[in-house]
Amino acid sequence: MNPSIFSNPVIIFSSIWLTILVIFRQVDFNFFVNPNTAVDIYIYTSIAQFILIYFFIKKFFYQPDFKVILFSDDELNNLNFFLNFLFILWFSLYLINIIYNRGTPLIWLLIGNGKTYLDFGIPTLTGFINMIRAFLLVGFFILYLKGKGIKNLVFLIILVFSAFNELARGNLIFLFAHGLAIYLMLYRINFKKFLFFLTGIIAFPYSFYFLATVRGTGGFDFSNFLSQNSEGYGILTWPLIYFLQPINNLYHGIDYVDVLYFPYNTIQLFVPSAVFTFLGFSSDYSFELATEAFNALPIFANLIADWGFFISLFFMGLIQIFISFVYVQALNGKKDYLLIYPPLFSALLLSFFHGYLLSLAVVAYPLILILYRIKEFKIDFSFKIERKSRNFKGFTKSP
């Protein structure tokens, strides 16, 4: 393993948020509010806190002599066996989801029945389906990178198409980010690869416009959101709105927040929705939006609404400790931590858009790894038992 510097969680988190803070002050939409100084200080503090935590964790846990990850053929074969089993499970659940909803958002769009991606899914089950899909993408991508057959590329195409089939930008980008995390952890980017990724970064904003067009909203009249005498930002108008409106909602809503000192908003992200409803809670967030047209909120919003600025920084610190520990252990060559890291990387990359770090798909992700290790143990245990049994029989037959 020769990880890229861009796999580092501190660099990802800091780059995303510093870029947002700078760009927000350069654009002008009529529903954008003025930056909030308290929020800015909170974000800068969170970045500084993450840097200190990371260097502390690395100083005490990093083992430079054990930073090479080598996958043996047996390990890759066991992973391949488990992924094929898991793919059958995921595909079955995905079909149940489609049957239950009588189609998918892409099909609904093509037949024009008026239903959207918001109508797709089964509460709780859909979160687990997405979580399994993310693990499958990570696993099959590892097998593909290690040269274990073109069929793994076919599996990857199926998984990506299933996400596109839902016409949900967040799900698709979150899934892609898992693959990016594994690649950056396994390979250092040379100049040629840097140009490739740079092209992808430049083209990335246009994916928002493309998916919006496919969903039928690409022709939206953005003049309603432009300030007087503003000519807009061309094709970048759509991605700029989606990139910046979450922090705009945070700037706006922070003045109306009544701190609960109870994790009402936070637990909605990771407690299964069916359980939350059964307990008698509503699924409404206590955060006022700048405009109902755009309802995304960054990772900080729910924590601040539940605990206020200072206590929420403590909880952010706990999250940052865990992420730093997982990343450093992955650098130490431990495969389990390498497999756990992609959803954390993806959640940091999209922390400006949603609280993925506290979502069920991330919090419950290690459960799949536990299932994988149990399956691997059973395979290995059965093999050893069979081998010992044969040796024993051979011994009894000797004269």
Residue 3 pLDDT: 83
Burial level of 208, CB count in 10 A (0-12/13-18/19+)? buried
Mean pLDDT for all residues in the chain: 83
What's residue 206's pLDDT? Answer: 62
Amino acid in position 386: E
| pLDDT score recorded for residue 47 | 97
The answer to whether residue 397 is domain-embedded is no
* Inside any domain, residue 108: yes
| pLDDT value, residue 231 | 65
Distance set, CA 243 to CA 7, 148, 203, 300 (Å): 21, 37, 14, 15
Give a yes or no: residue 391 inside a domain. no
Q: What is the mean pLDDT of residues 206-223?
A: 57
Is the pLDDT at 390 greater than 60? The verdict is no
Per-residue pLDDT at 268: 80
- Judge whether 80 lies within some domain: yes
pLDDT computed for residue 205 by the predictor: 57
pLDDT digits (tens, 9 = 90+) for 239-274: 788 889 999 999 999 988 888 888 888 888 877 666
pLDDT of residue 373: 81
Q: What is the pLDDT of residues 78-135, one digit of tens each?
A: 899 999 999 999 999 999 999 999 999 989 988 888 888 888 888 878 889 999 999 9
> Which of 207, 102, 115 minimizes the C-alpha distance to 164?
207
How does 53-74 read in b/e, with b if 16+ C-beta sit within 10 Å? Answer: bbeebbeeeeeeeeeebebeee
Please give the pLDDT value at position 381.
43
Q: What is the DSSP secondary structure assignment for residue 29, as one 8-state letter?
A: B
Please indicate, yes or no, if residue 19 is contained in any of the structural domains: yes
Helix (H) or strand (E) holding 270: helix 264-270
Q: Kindly tell me if the per-residue pLDDT of 207 is higher than 70.
A: no
| pLDDT, tens digit, 9 for 90 and up, residues 145-179 | 988 888 999 999 999 999 989 888 788 889 999 99
Least trusted range by pLDDT, from 36-45, 60-69, 183-192, 385-394: 385-394
Q: Is the pLDDT of residue 371 over 60?
A: yes
- pLDDT score, position 187: 84
Position 389 scores a pLDDT of 44
pLDDT at site 324: 97
Tell me the DSSP string of 155-169.
Answer: HHHHHHHHHHTTT-H
370 is a domain residue = no
pLDDT confidence tier of residue 283, bands split at 50, 70 and 90: low
pTM for this one? 0.87
Look at residue 281 and tell me if it is in a domain: yes
Domain of residue 27 covers 5-364
Instruction: Pick the more confident residue, 169 or 11.
Output: 11
- Rounded percentage of the chain residues whose pLDDT exceeds 70: 78
Out of 46-55, 186-195, 276-285, 390-399, pick the least confident: 390-399
**Torsion of Cα atoms, 388 then 392 then 393 then 395, to 10°:** 140
Q: What's the pLDDT at 312?
A: 95
At 194 the pLDDT is: 65
- Count structural domains, the chain: 1
- Where residue 209 falls among pLDDT bands split at 50, 70, 90? low
- Evaluate whether residue 24 is within a structural domain: yes
pLDDT value for 155:
96
pLDDT of 391 above 50: no
Q: Which of 349, 343, 247 is closest to 301 using CA atoms?
A: 247
Q: Range with the lowest mean pLDDT among 64-73, 146-155, 186-195, 225-234?
A: 225-234
